[in-house]
Amino acid sequence: MLKPASLAELKAELQTLPQEELLAICLRLARFKRDNKELMGFLLFEAHDMDHYTQQIKEMMTLEFANVNTSNVWFAKKTIRKILRLVSKYAKYAGSKELEAVLLIHFLEEIKQLPAHITKAPILEKLMAMQEKKTRKLIESLHEDLQYDLQRQLDAVVQH
């Protein structure tokens, strides 16, 4: 089996290629896998305005949570996990711990707005506790001013 090239090797090779070949490689990558296309779209169209990007993801989350089937905990759990996967993917594209913390706080806010029989289910309580722990760890790695603001937001969400 072929061993993939290291990032350093890829970078060195890409620096030697003319612009037309770079464009062809990028377009081929975009066609190859949906995640590549989404990441390229983020880098080209969204990366310059992180506030707008954050707002779009929050709106998407709100819409997805509005569609959660609250008649059955199992269906609700499946939908909530799907939303969490999307949030993680979009946060990974941005590569920002602050953005990820903000999105996870919004995620927890949205879960708290679901009916009690859903949020009190043991599996969802565990999911919320894990996400709260992850958010606290992310907040600890940020600048002190951001830590204070995000910690207050998270505490307000958890208290309810």
pLDDT tens profile 11-67 = 999 999 999 999 999 999 899 889 999 999 999 999 999 999 999 999 999 999 999
> What's the confidence (pLDDT) of residue 81?
97
Does residue 160 carry a pLDDT above 90?
no
Global confidence as pTM = 0.87
Whether 50 and 90 have beta carbons less than 8 Å apart is answered as no
CA 56 – CA 25 distance, rounded (Å): 29
- How many CB atoms neighbour CB 154 within 10 A? 20
CA-nearest of 113, 112, 94 to 55 is: 94
